[in-house]
Amino acid sequence: MVTYEELYEIVKESLSEKRFNHTLGVVERALEYAEIYGANIEDTKKAAILHDIAKEIPHQEAYKMFENFGVELDEIEKKNDNLIHSKLGAVIAKYKYNLSDDICNAISFHTTGRANMSLLEKIIYLADATEKGRVYKSELNMMTLDELVNLIKKDIDDGLIYVLSYTLKSLIYRNLYIHINSVNAYNFYKKVEII
C-alpha cells in the first residue's frame, strides 16, 4: 500500500509550486476537520494530498487517460473544464495507487459535492473550499474565511450547506454550468437541516 510520504513526493513532482502549496493547505485544513470529527487520519491525508493530482494535466492527455481507463465524462463535465481534474484524480487514485473507494470518492467529488457524502468526502470538499489561501468574491456576501472555518468546526453539515450555497451562487454569477451533483448535494443537506 502506498504511503502518504510517497504520495507527497509524487504530488510535489507533479504540480506547480502554487498548486502544491494549495494542496498542502488542503491537507492542513482537512486534518483540522478530521481530528474534530474523528475521521481516519491516514485516509484524510492521502485524499487531501491527491485531491488536485490531475489539476495541471493538459485536457487532451486527460481525455486519453479517461479513454484508456474506460471512464466517460457526462455532458456538464465536458462543458466545464474545472470538473475534469477531480474525476481524473479519482481514476489515478484507484488504478495507479489502488486506494479505497472512500478516498477515490473524496477526490472525485471535491469540486461538486454530492448527496449523502461520507465524512471523508465532506472533509475534503470543505478543506478545499477553506484552505488558508482561498479567496472569495465579496460581491456574493460570503462570510469571512475564519467565520466559515468556525462554522464547519461547530457543525460540518451547516458548513457544507453554506459552501454549497455559495458555490451555486458563484457558478450562476460567473455564468457557468452547474453539475447536478452540486444541486443534489444542496437539496439533500438542506432537507437534513430542516428535519
pLDDT tens-digit profile of 162-175? 999 999 998 998 89
- Higher per-residue pLDDT: 145 or 7: 7
- Buried b / exposed e over 110-146, threshold 16 CB at 10 Å, is bbbbbeebbbbbbbbbbbbbbbeeeebeeeeebeebe
Of 8-12, 18-22, 70-74, 189-193, which gets the smallest average pLDDT? 189-193
- Predicted confidence at residue 194, as pLDDT, reads 46
> What integer pLDDT is reported at residue 180 of this predicted model?
96
Cα(first)–Cα(last) distance of the chain, in Å?
41
Domains of the chain (ranges, CATH numbers): 4-194 (1.10.3210.10)
Q: Is the CB of residue 171 less than 8 Å from the CB of residue 152?
A: no
Segment 132-136 shows an average pLDDT of: 83
Average pLDDT of the segment spanning 81-105: 95
**Full DSSP string of 109-161:** TTTT--TT--HHHHHHHHHHHHSTT----GGGTPPPHHHHHHHHHH-HHHHHH
Statement: residue 140 has pLDDT above 80: no
